[in-house]
Structure 1
Amino acid sequence: MKSNLALFDFDGTITDADTFTEFVLFATPKWRLALGLVLIWPVILAFKLGWLPAARTRPIVAKVAFWHRSVAKVNAQAQAYVEHRLPQIVRPQAARRLDYHRSCGDRIIVVSASLSPYLEIWCDEQQLELLCSRLSKSKGQSGSRYSGSYETGDCSGQRKVEFINCAVNLDDYEQVFAYGDTDEDLPMLELADQAYLRWQPYQRGKKEGS
């Protein structure tokens, strides 16, 4: 008998907060935040005005926040973020649904546009698989550093489908479940036999507002 597959978005679905932004503010020195704001304020303004999509904004913000940062230091901050902040913002409903899929023996994958340093730690602790926006690393005389760039792009929208299809064969599963909360998750929800948008049943092929 085939098993089931459960695909979970992270920000706004498993959590009730925007962890991408929180972690950038948590892990970035104040001087770098100030300098970054000076450098990319037009990008932030364009995003706030709806002229620039989040999928294009996030990589720019990540580049400013994590370029040439020590992997060891950023990962230590990621550990602290996971320990002290994430338990406060994980939705009880999400925790129960994750437990349900575990009890059924389903394969569970978190599919997120948020960043690898803290998501890897949290998913490892929760014994969950992860597909996400991964920060690339480089090695130099001063040790491993994050480049600030993404290894394989921003894991959102149609890219979520590409990440999933590279990792799994959906035909191997009896049923596919998917959980999301924004338009960026709709392509992933369209893959599922049972899909949920903001924890309500989602009808495949139905766009928000229609």
Structure 2
Amino acid sequence: MKQNIAFFDFDGTITRRDSLFLFVKFLVGHRKFYWGILIHLHILLGYLMGVLKNSYAKERLSEYFFKGYEGKEFLIECEKFLTILKTTLKDSALERLYWHKQQGDKIVLVSASFEEYLIPLCRELQIDCIGTALEVKNAKLTGRFACANCYGKEKSIRIQNKYDLKDYAKIYAYGDSSGDKEMLALASIENRFYKFFK
């Protein structure tokens, strides 16, 4: 008998707030965070106005905040961030995730957020993780992405590169934004859940 598979977006779907800014504040402190946002305000406004792509704005910010960080130390901080990250999770989303577990389904977190701080959570929940990874050179972060930003069409590409969807009986997908539409389209209409969790 074939197993089912369920894909969950993270920010806004499973969480009550954006995890990236929360992580950056945790990593660099409030003062550097707000200063960084201020000096990159033109980029953020460009993104909000639709002039700049999500991936461009995000990579410029990640370069500012993460460039030069020791890779091993960064991963240690990501592990420490888990306690804070767990406080953002929606009970309704966790209940659904555990329902899938009881069904014996494979569960995959698919997010534009960084794998480095998502993996500790996924490890604890015993689910798979697909996200945006950060580039490391000479043991230090460059601030650039090691892969394409896992957003929009890239979510569908990454999923299909990792899983042969024909091997699964049912495909479920949960999302909350336009960046999830290609992932949602992988599931049949009755198994697509948009803004499902309160």
When normalised by structure 2's length, the TM-score is 0.90
Q: 1:96: which partner in 2?
A: 95
Taking the aligned partners of 1:70 and 1:90, their CA distance within structure 2 comes to 28
Say yes or no: does 1:160 pair with 2:155.
Answer: yes
- 1:96: Cα distance to partner? 0.5
- Which segments of structure 1 move beyond 6 Å, counting only runs of 4 or more? none
Q: 2:107: which partner in 1?
A: 108
Change over 3 Å in CA distance of 1:72–1:47 after alignment to 2: same
- 1:138: Cα distance to partner? 1.8
List per-residue Cα deviations over 1:37-76 (Å, max 9, x = no partner).
Answer: 4653321221243432423321221121111111232222
Say yes or no: does 1:87 pair with 2:86.
Answer: yes
Of 66-75 and 115-124, deviating more is 66-75
- Give secondary structure in 1 for the equivalent of 2:52: coil
Equivalent position amino acid for 1:64 in 2: Y
Q: 1:207: which partner in 2?
A: none
Equivalent position amino acid for 1:114 in 2: S
Q: 1:205: which partner in 2?
A: none
Q: 1:129: which partner in 2?
A: 128
- Give secondary structure in 1 for the equivalent of 2:140: strand
- Give secondary structure in 1 for the equivalent of 2:87: helix
Say yes or no: does 1:185 pair with 2:180.
Answer: yes
- 1:123: Cα distance to partner? 0.7
Equivalent position amino acid for 1:164 in 2: I
- 1:195: Cα distance to partner? 0.6
List per-residue Cα deviations over 1:73-94 (Å, max 9, x = no partner).
Answer: 22222222211x1222100011
Say yes or no: does 1:195 pair with 2:195.
Answer: no
Change over 3 Å in CA distance of 1:69–1:31 after alignment to 2: farther
Taking the aligned partners of 1:126 and 1:100, their CA distance within structure 2 comes to 13
Q: 2:10: which partner in 1?
A: 10
- Give secondary structure in 1 for the equivalent of 2:148: coil
Change over 3 Å in CA distance of 1:94–1:37 after alignment to 2: closer
Aligned length: 195
When normalised by structure 1's length, the TM-score is 0.86
**Structure 1: runs of 5 or more not aligned:** 201-210
- Give secondary structure in 2 for the equivalent of 1:132: strand
- 1:106: Cα distance to partner? 0.7
RMSD of aligned residue pairs (Cα, Å): 1.8
Taking the aligned partners of 2:31 and 2:85, their CA distance within structure 1 comes to 25
Equivalent position amino acid for 1:68 in 2: G
Q: 1:70: which partner in 2?
A: 70
Taking the aligned partners of 1:196 and 1:146, their CA distance within structure 2 comes to 36
Tell me the percent identity. Answer: 29
Taking the aligned partners of 2:89 and 2:173, their CA distance within structure 1 comes to 17
Taking the aligned partners of 2:154 and 2:50, their CA distance within structure 1 comes to 20
- Give secondary structure in 2 for the equivalent of 1:175: strand
Taking the aligned partners of 1:53 and 1:136, their CA distance within structure 2 comes to 20
Q: 1:47: which partner in 2?
A: 47
